[in-house]
């Protein structure tokens, strides 16, 4: 949340180890979203209503500029979940270091019809026209995913609505729901309570079964208090995702300082648990992203926050460079292990695009990318970047496009393939060929790609943020000064780099008390 000039990040953290368990709400503060200072843990198990765990939730800033946290408490060994609140002990402390959990907790308990062990992660609250606050809580009934809806006049006494905000059969448990408005016109973010004309709503859920996040765009019917996805939305496992890679449990918040909505996700590990224990840590927050509605109204666009540019150092540029079939060129002069790369590719014709086989699943880019990797020659593509690469490509993580010819249109596949990222091979490592399709107009015969490369993370944004993929990789050879960065083309159609800009990225200041 943003409060009195300070950004606050609360995150699930295990102070006693590097794998999941003993979860507290750790707390860090920043004035610019880039340089962070760790402060005392905000919430930790200490009362009967959370003695077995303080799990995820959200912050809401109430009228009178009063922040309140709603979080899930675990009350017994059976994993029974309730919703609690916490408030700052001292509003004049700019960092809000100490949080109090009043004794009238819990505020929300599951009734006899709710699965008490899948009842968690309350959203940021929004205020209805009737003067009542609303929150949604994730859950499931057998295999049906549910966003439960609760209402309150005073933020203390909550009543369950007769029906959920939304639910979908066969999707399993919904974690970390997020419900917020986006503007149909312009790029400004909206406060969570905004409704009315020129507004669409987004419902995002993290699906426990697949460990990916899915969202739909739709209408919030304020009369019936229900969310209705747009007709052309796929509402379930084959739907739109924020990110097609290592990205989960995200939250968005409205930043009134810059009138934007910021999305912040967590990158889970690709290493085996034994390696996490060896390293002493697991999981990171990725770079915060602004989130806006695509002008086509059919999806969201994400882009790294502008503040990240403050870390840019040395810059190199490449212009009007042709890449023939099988060619790769090295991007020299920057720190390839820690870089920000923006590139625009052009091509003269789509005639050589491969035919999209009707037997392929057009919702499963990952499976297609595993068959059609960066080394499999195509027509238009594969072309893109080889990140975190060794000189002789023993290790590399390619981020690339491949264009297919479908019946009436062309399909663009974007991949971030971790399968060749590391020679290390512990049992239990997770290195898939992440991929998603990009809904982009190819009439200009251009495709853009931006990749943020940071030692063990490659965050990539295709077509100005239409499709995003985060890969978590651990090279053994392509580290520090032994890391290389290449642009490549393995298609028969000549690809031109219209412009490529790459920057060495400096480290932010991380301060610990």
339 contact partners, CB below 8 Å, separation of at least 6: 451, 452, 453, 485, 502, 503, 504, 505
What mean pLDDT, rounded, does the chain reach? 96
The answer to whether residue 513 scores a pLDDT higher than 80 is no
* Nearest partner of 84 among 111, 57, 118, judged by Cα: 57
pLDDT attached to residue 407: 87
In tens, the pLDDT along 340-368 reads: 999 999 999 999 999 999 999 988 999 99
b/e burial code for range 20-33 (CB count within 10 A of at least 16 → b): eeebbbbbbbbeeb
Task: Please tell me the distance from the alpha carbon of residue 469 to that of residue 458, in angstroms, as a whole number.
Answer: 8
What average pLDDT does range 51-63 have in this prediction?
97
Task: Please tell me the distance from the alpha carbon of residue 288 to that of residue 305, in angstroms, as a whole number.
Answer: 6
What pTM value is reported for the model? Answer: 0.97
275 contact partners, CB below 8 Å, separation of at least 6: 269, 426, 429, 474
222, 298, 460 from 263: Cα distances, Å: 25, 18, 15
- The percent of residues above 70 in pLDDT, for the chain, comes to 99
What average pLDDT does range 427-455 have in this prediction?
95
In tens, the pLDDT along 114-141 reads: 999 999 999 999 999 999 999 999 999 9
b/e burial code for range 64-82 (CB count within 10 A of at least 16 → b): eeebbbbbbbbbeeeeebb
Length of the chain: 513
pLDDT attached to residue 447: 98
What average pLDDT does range 431-446 have in this prediction?
96
Ramachandran quadrant class, 158 (left: phi over 0; alpha: psi -120 to 50; beta: rest): beta
If one counts every other C-beta atom within 10 angstroms of the C-beta of residue 116, the result is 17
Cβ–Cβ under 8 Å, residues 345 and 449: yes
Is the peptide bond preceding residue 382 cis, with omega within 30 degrees of 0? yes
What average pLDDT does range 372-395 have in this prediction?
97
SS (H, E, C) 39-84: EEEEECCCCCCCCCEEEEEEEEEECCCEEEEEEEEECCCCCCEEEE
Is the peptide bond preceding residue 106 cis, with omega within 30 degrees of 0? yes
Task: Please tell me the distance from the alpha carbon of residue 454 to that of residue 236, in angstroms, as a whole number.
Answer: 32
pLDDT attached to residue 512: 60
First to last CA, the chain: 21
For residue 135, list its beta bridge partners. 150
Helices (H) and strands (E) in the chain, counts: 2, 37
Q: In the numeric block, which tokens belong to residue 490?
A: 């393995």
What average pLDDT does range 288-293 have in this prediction?
98
């Amino acid at each position: 949340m943003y409060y009195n000039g300070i950004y606050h990040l609360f995150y699930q953290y295990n102070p006693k180890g590097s794998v999941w368990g003993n979860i507290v709400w750790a707390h860090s503060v920043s004035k610019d979203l880039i340089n962070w200072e760790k402060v005392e843990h905000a919430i930790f198990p200490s009362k009967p209503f959370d003695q077995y765990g303080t799990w995820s939730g959200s912050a809401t800033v109430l009228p009178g500029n009063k922040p309140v946290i709603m979080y899930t408490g675990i009350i017994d060994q059976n994993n029974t979940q309730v919703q609690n609140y916490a408030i700052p002990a001292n509003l004049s402390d700019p960092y809000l270091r100490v949080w109090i959990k009043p004794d009238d907790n819990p505020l929300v308990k599951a009734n006899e019809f709710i699965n008490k062990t899948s009842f968690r992660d309350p959203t940021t609250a929004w205020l209805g026209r009737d003067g009542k606050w609303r929150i949604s809580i994730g859950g499931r009934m057998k295999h049906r995913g549910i966003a439960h809806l609760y209402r309150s006049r005073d933020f203390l006494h909550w009543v369950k609505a007769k029906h959920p905000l939304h639910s979908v059969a066969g999707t399993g448990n919904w974690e970390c729901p997020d419900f917020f408005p986006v503007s149909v016109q312009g790029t400004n973010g909206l406060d969570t309570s905004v409704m009315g004309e020129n507004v669409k709503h987004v419902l995002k859920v993290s699906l426990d079964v697949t460990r990916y996040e899915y969202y739909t765009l739709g209408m919030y019917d304020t009369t019936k208090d229900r969310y209705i996805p747009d007709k052309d939305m796929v509402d379930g496992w084959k739907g739109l995702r924020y990110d097609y890679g290592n990205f989960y449990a995200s939250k968005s918040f409205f930043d009134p300082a810059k009138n934007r909505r910021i999305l912040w996700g967590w990158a889970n590990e690709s290493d085996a648990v034994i390696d996490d224990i060896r390293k002493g840590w697991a999981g990171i927050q990725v770079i915060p992203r602004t989130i806006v509605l695509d002008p086509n109204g059919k999806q969201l666009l994400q882009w790294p926050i502008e503040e990240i540019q403050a870390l840019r150092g040395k810059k190199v540029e490449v212009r009007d460079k042709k890449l023939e079939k099988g060619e790769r060129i090295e991007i020299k002069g920057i720190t390839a292990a820690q870089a920000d790369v923006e590139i625009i590719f052009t091509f003269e014709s789509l005639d050589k695009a491969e035919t999209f086989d009707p037997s392929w699943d057009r919702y499963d880019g990952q499976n297609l990318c595993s068959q059609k990797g960066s080394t499999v020659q195509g027509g238009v593509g594969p072309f893109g970047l080889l990140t975190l690469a060794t000189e002789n490509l023993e290790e590399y993580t390619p981020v690339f496009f491949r264009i297919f010819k479908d019946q009436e249109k062309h399909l663009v596949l974007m991949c971030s393939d971790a399968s060749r990222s590391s020679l290390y091979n512990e049992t239990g490592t997770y290195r898939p060929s992440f991929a998603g399709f990009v809904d982009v107009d190819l009439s200009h015969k251009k495709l853009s790609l931006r990749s943020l490369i940071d030692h063990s993370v490659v965050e990539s944004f295709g077509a100005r943020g239409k499709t995003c993929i985060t890969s978590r990789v651990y090279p053994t050879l392509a580290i520090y000064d032994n890391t290389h960065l290449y642009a490549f083309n393995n298609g028969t159609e000549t690809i031109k780099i219209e412009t490529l800009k790459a920057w060495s990225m400096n480290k932010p200041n991380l301060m610990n008390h």
